[in-house]
Amino acid sequence: MKNIEIHSLAACCNSWGIGVNGSLPWRLRKEMAWFTKASTGSPPRGKKNAVVMGRKNWDSIPKSFKPMINRYNIVMSRTLLLNTPEADAVVRSFEDLIQLLSCEQWQNTIHESPYCGKVYLTRVMADFKCDTCFPKLDETFKLLPTDQFDNVPQGVHEENGIKWKVEVYQKHKPS
């Protein structure tokens, strides 16, 4: 079996908030373009990256943007039908996800992402009222210099009066 490494792409505000009432609390077109570029990548012909999301995230995507193009859309849910329209696959658990990604069909069509094993976290440098939060990264995650990554927007950006930057973390293994 090929090693499966999972990476994360997320955006959070100062209080680690990522959503409110099933929607993003901010509108940052350039940051969303970064997400699209990073999650789509540059796979070889016949392959795509997979985007795995929870049901609430899936439900929050407007119908006109479902499925996210040029990516396999995999939804993790205990309640959605396994043959949900627009989703390439629905899985019930993390174990089901690993089993799905390990099968030959998916191994031959999913591109190995250049972001394996890392957390690409957009820090929205503002306070927003949120009802959903990204889990805080503990001391096992090491902040990496972004200048090591050509594909990551460098420095602080500003849109609609809101500043944001991308940070890259990697979980380090105890010695």
- Whose structure tokens read 């394996």? 116
List of residues 6+ apart from 41 with CB closer than 8 A: 49, 111, 113, 114, 115
Is 24 assigned a catalytic role?
A: yes
Cβ atoms of residues 110 and 49 within 8 Å: yes
Torsion of CA 52, 155, 22, 33, to 10 degrees: -60
DSSP helix/strand/coil, 29: helix
Is 31 assigned a catalytic role?
A: yes
Instruction: Choose the catalytic residue: 9, 28, 31, 121.
Output: 31
Active site residues: 24, 31
